[in-house]
Amino acid sequence: MSAKVESDLPKIAIRTGSWWWELLFGLFALLLVPVTYLALTYPPPLPAQGQAHRIFYIHVPTAWIALYGPCVGAVAGLLYLQTRREVYDVWSLASTKLSFLFAISVVISGPIWGSTEWGTYWNWKDERLMSFFVLLMCLIGYFLARYLTEEPARAARFGALMAVLAALAAVLTWFAIRVTDPDTHPPSVLGSMSPKIRQTFWISVLAYHLLFLALLRLVVRQEWLGRWADQLESEK
């Protein structure tokens, strides 16, 4: 591994300000509004869950992103460890930040949904819930390791390692309902959805992934701006 830390500032930070990118990513973010309306009106209510089943169109796409995000962060982290280029560290950090945001959304929507369907907010014996809890702890650990380390290069290294750990937890969570029979969390329903539910679900997945891309760009840009300001302040 190269010990030399290369700085990608400022050339990457300043290449993000094109107006049509702003418009495109703005539209990505706004797509969530019609998709939410679609989820509220298009699929019929399920007899077993009534209107509560519409939480599905928020909970599952956000959960997927909360699982993909650490994997993106881990790949970027490994690339950082290999090359020591700052750009990979920024992508790893941005992806993990968004994973944490979406994971918070999952642990909010899941227990609220479960409260009526399972009769309890949380089940400590459920493999899926516990593996997701471990993932959440790994993400919190990432930020603790990162922000409690003063030296930036060391913080980036710790962050990369924690991102890999979080990705392993994400993979574990993904397989938890596929290789075990969780106590309360239902198994995957991907193959058994009715046409209207399936259409709405995939449109929701698309909308949340576009939102993830829009937010990722925003976070990456903000991170570069902060680092650029840090660099210029330290040079002064």
- Enumerate binding residues for another protein (CB under 8 A): 10-11, 13-19, 22, 36, 47, 49-52, 54-55, 58-59, 62, 101, 104-105, 108-109, 112-113, 115-116, 211, 215, 218-219, 221-222, 225-226, 228-229, 232-233, 236
Task: Estimate to the nearest angstrom the gap between the alpha carbon of 167 and the chain centroid.
Answer: 11
Residue closest to 91 by CA, chosen among 69, 106, 63: 69
Closer to another protein by Cβ: residue 102 or 164: 102
- Gap between the Cα atoms of 138 and 229, Å rounded: 29
Sign of the Cα pseudo-torsion (140, 60, 69, 12, in order):
negative
Integer Cα distance of 24 and 162 in angstroms: 32
Question: Closest separation between CB of residue 74 and another protein, Å?
Answer: 22
**Please, which residue, 2 or 14, has the CB nearer to another protein?**
14
Nearest to 235 by CA among 84, 9, 6: 9
- Residue 173 is encoded by which pair of tokens? 């969570």
Minimum CB distance to another protein smaller for 213 or for 225:
225
Q: Please, what is the minimum distance in Å from the beta carbon of residue 41 to another protein?
A: 12
Please state the closest distance from residue 211 (CB atom) to another protein, in A. Answer: 8
The residue among 71, 133, 140, 73 whose CA lies nearest residue 106 is: 133
CB of 168 to another protein, least distance (A): 26
Alpha-carbon torsion, ordered 203, 205, 211, 215, to 10 deg? -170
Cβ proximity to another protein, 55 vs 134, nearer residue: 55
Nearer to another protein, 95 or 157 (CB): 95
Residues 160, 140: Cα–Cα separation, whole Å:
14
Rg of the chain (C-alpha set): 20
As measured in angstroms, the least distance from the Cβ of 16 to another protein is: 6
CB of residue 118 to another protein, shortest distance in Å: 12
C-beta of 3 vs 47, nearer to another protein: 47
Q: Residues near 215 by Cβ (< 8 Å), separated by ≥ 6?
A: 29, 98, 101
Pick the closer one to another protein by CB: 105 or 131.
Answer: 105
Q: Taking the complex as a whole, how short is the minimal distance between the CB of residue 122 and another protein, in angstroms?
A: 15
